[in-house]
Chains A and B, each alone.
Chain A
């Protein structure tokens, strides 16, 4: 017999009371672990989106913004296509302050017999690209070849599989790491493959031609040279290139960033509210429990237990409840968050990328530690009250 076995016996033989305490701490842990994982996922989704956009400025045809919401393209993978003359790339490079410029061409496949799946196809120039190529390089050690495609993690096609886009057979050569954004639903190919696809689309009646001819691109991703002000370069681009609009990428994702900050704030407030409420409930519970157990503690005191011994026992019991509740709550949150992350992402309509295993484990351990600490802390008041009770009086009152 020792303090642990006494605490354990009390908890196991007072099952209903223990279950309520564990449930309460489980609720706390569920809120803190679930909420934290969601906030981290949103944050890492936004970081991922920023990294994938990777450019300071994006130049698009002037009519593009009226055709499609960039935010929806990047977040939800809404398909969209708009074109401008490929010479825009050279004009961009003429502007002072531009360090790098990379073209991309978009093509939306059809929900028709000619296409296996409805997706956004993005053509890149591997030599110039500095946004998508580093991401592709993590999954594919060579450059994309003729009619090769790399697919986002949410595209239902495996490596080695052939997918049809406007009746053109494209081979899936890589499956990309998740970004938590709409980019996960796109397919990436070289500019040469894109030219083939554009021709095939033209044959199917999907026109991309513009006044100046067939050599088209959809966007130019611009990296501003160090020391140059991005807004200034943005203005210069807008002044220099006709029928195109330069947009700061930060302004494109400001809406996302604001929504994310709002959701994060709401979750944080909810977590704080749950914790404050549960802490008060725990304080009251332990106060009631100590009152209910006054006679039992008096017996221990009369048997020779010191006040500090009993205080330690109360705190140990509550810490054990905190441990069990912490593990249960964290486990329950994990059971909801991980299998249903796709549903959560869709419901939030924000970039959502689950943190890595190490980060999740660390967060889980921290949550359990916090649950144990809060449980023990909430019982200190009860332990203090206990120290003020005269055992003789407690026994008489018990009678």
Chain B
């Protein structure tokens, strides 16, 4: 069953077509990697799927709802209810502790629950670091907090933009293990990456070039 479907989506900035008539679908529970060189349209696609931007043309169906037609207010609601975001630069609120950063997502979603937030941090192996500020955490630890923040509201889709781009190998493996675990639990994952090793961890890789889907690669070894 399709969770996300892009139909002939284009994003045009003046003369530039950042996305050019892109069509793709992502099934519920699927783990998809999006690769491509700089300027290929990865970030534009991520912004559109993440309800942070709207396409110039085409339809984007998320869970059956065409989000290309929604108001920015409604897009905020959709993003809050259905999507968990993870970024390369972590983007933690620097005056809040690790657990408070996780609770912020709960607060804007429904109701903050510290015990549940601590459990989410426990899941990424950081319960004992819950009271630390971002400045007191390593890059890998910050990214794991961001994963905990993304999954705290049980989103249907985790959208990650270069999630391992700033991590060492050990932390990269921890994050990928977490994604694998979320995938096993049925969460849909879309990971934008430059790193072929990260892409290899996904079921399917979509390669973008010049704003178009150049090819799709099915990972035959997935799960083996």
Contact = CB atoms under 8 A, between A and B. Distances in A.
Contact of B94 (A296, A301, A305): A296
B89 A398 contact: yes
A9 B99 CA distance: 13
Contacts of A303: 80, 104-105, 108-109, 149
Contact of B52 (A6, A13, A390): A390
A346 to B, nearest CB: 49
B95 A13 contact: yes
B222 interface: no
B85 interface: yes
Interface in B1-59: 43, 47, 50, 52-53
Interface string B93-130: 11110001001111111001000000000000000000
A299 interface: yes
B73 A300 contact: no
A10 B94 CA distance: 9
A304 B73 CA distance: 10
A358 to B, nearest CB: 41
A392 interface: yes
A376 B208 CA distance: 47
Contact of B87 (A6, A9, A300, A395): A395
B50 A305 contact: no
A300 B94 CA distance: 12
A380 to B, nearest CB: 19
B43 A396 contact: yes
Contacts of B106: 1
B52 A300 contact: no
Contacts of A391: 52
Interface in A1-53: 1-2, 6, 9-10, 13-14
A281 interface: no
Given A300-B108, A303-B105, A305-B108, A295 B91 contact: yes
B186 to A, nearest CB: 22
B213 interface: no
Interface string A287-303: 00000000110111111
A63 interface: no
Interface residues of B, number: 32
Contacts of A396: 43
Interface residues of A, number: 27
Contact of B76 (A13, A296, A304): A304
Contacts of B76: 301, 304-306
Given A303-B80, A304-B105, A390 B95 contact: no
A399 interface: yes
A10 B105 CA distance: 16
Contact of A392 (B52, B95, B96, B107): B52
B80 A392 contact: no
Given A13-B95, A295-B91, A395-B89, A300 B50 contact: no
A309 B89 contact: no
A2 B100 CA distance: 11
B91 A1 contact: no
A395 B95 contact: no
A390 B53 contact: yes
Contacts of B149: 303
Contacts of B183: none
A392 B100 contact: no
Interface in A45-74: none
A117 B123 CA distance: 85
B92 interface: yes
Nearest to B108: A304
Contact of B109 (A6, A304, A395): A304
B194 interface: no
Contacts of B95: 9-10, 13-14
B50 A392 contact: yes
Nearest to B76: A306
Contacts of A307: 73
7 contacts: A1-B106, A2-B107, A2-B112, A296-B93, A302-B91, A304-B109, A395-B87
Interface of A: 1-2, 6, 9-10, 13-14, 295-296, 298-307, 309, 390-392, 395-396, 398-399
Interface of B: 43, 47, 50, 52-53, 73, 76-77, 79-81, 85, 87-89, 91-96, 100, 103-109, 112, 133, 149
10 closest Cβ pairs, A-B complex: A304-B80, A392-B52, A304-B108, A13-B95, A1-B112, A392-B47, A303-B105, A305-B108, A303-B108, A1-B103
Given A2-B112, A9-B95, A390-B53, 15 more contacts: A1-B112, A2-B107, A9-B100, A13-B95, A299-B93, A302-B50, A303-B104, A303-B105, A303-B149, A304-B109, A306-B76, A309-B108, A391-B52, A392-B52, A395-B91
